[in-house]
Structure 1
Amino acid sequence: MTTKALLFDFDGLLMDTETTLLESWRGEWRRHGLELDPAGFFADHGGDTNESRYAALAAAVGPGYDRESSHRLRMAHRSRLNAALEPAPGIIGWLDRAAELGLRLAVASSSAITHVGTMLDQAGLRARFEVVATGDEVAAYKPDPAVYHIALDRLGLPAREALAFEDTPHGVAAARAAGLRCVAIPNPHADHARFMAADLLLPSAVALSLDAVLAEFARQADLASPCPAQRLARPENADWS
Structure 2
Amino acid sequence: MKIKGVIFDMDGVVVDNHEYHFKAWMHFAKKYKFELNEQIYRDKFNGKTNADLFPMIFANPSQEEMKRYADEKEGMYKELYAPVMKAHTGLIDFLELLKKYRIKIALGTSAPPGNVDFVLDPLKLRQFFDVIVDGTQVKKGKPDPEVYQLCCAKLGLEAKECVVFEDSLAGLESGERAGCTIVGVATSHEAYELEGKTSLIIHDFTEAKKLLGL
Pair 1:193 & 2:193 matched: yes
120-129 or 38-47, which moves further after superposition? 38-47
Give, in whole Å, the separation in 2 of the partners of 1:29 and 1:164: 31
Contact 1:168-1:190 within 8 A present in 2 as well:
no
| Partner Cα distance (1:113, 1:71) in 2 | 12
**Equivalence map 1:69-218=2 (5 Å):** 75-84=74-83, 85-189=85-189, 192-206=192-206, 208-210=207-209, 212-215=210-213
1:30 is displaced (CA, Å) by: 6.8
The question of whether the paired residues in 2 share the 8 Å contact of 1:110 and 1:142 is answered with yes
State the 1:94 CA deviation.
0.9
Residue 215 of structure 1 aligns to a residue whose secondary structure is: coil
The aligned amino acid for 2:185 is I
Q: Is the Cα contact below 8 Å between 1:110 and 1:134 reproduced in 2?
A: yes
User: Which is greater in Rg?
Assistant: 1
The one-letter code sitting in structure 1 at the alignment partner of 2:81 is N
**For residues 73 and 152 of structure 2, what CA distance do their matches in structure 1 show?**
35
Q: CA deviation at 1:192?
A: 3.2
Rate the CA distance shift 1:203–1:21 in 2: closer, same or farther, 3 A. same
- Structure 2: stretches of 5+ with no match in the other structure: 59-66
Where relative contact order (Cα < 8 A, 6+ residues apart) is larger, the structure is 2
Superposed CA RMSD: 3.2
Whether the 8 Å CA contact 1:181–1:199 is kept in 2: the answer is no
Q: Gaps spanning 5+ residues in structure 1: where?
A: 56-67, 217-241
CA distance in 2: counterparts of 1:131 and 1:73, whole angstroms: 28
Q: In 1, are the aligned partners of 2:167 and 2:188 still within 8 Å (CA)?
A: no
Shift of 1:184: 0.6
* Aligned CA distance change for structure 1 residues 215 and 21 (closer, same or farther; 3 Å): same
Amino acid at match of 1:91: L
Structure 2 Cα separation of the partners of residues 173 and 105 of structure 1 = 20
TM-score by structure 2 length? 0.80
Q: Percent identity?
A: 23
For residues 82 and 153 of structure 1, the distance between their equivalents in structure 2, rounded to whole angstroms, comes to 32
Contact 2:145 2:177 in 1 (8 A): yes
Are the counterparts in 1 of residues 194 and 201 from structure 2 also a CA contact under 8 Å? Answer: no
| 3-state SS in 2 of match to 1:41 | helix
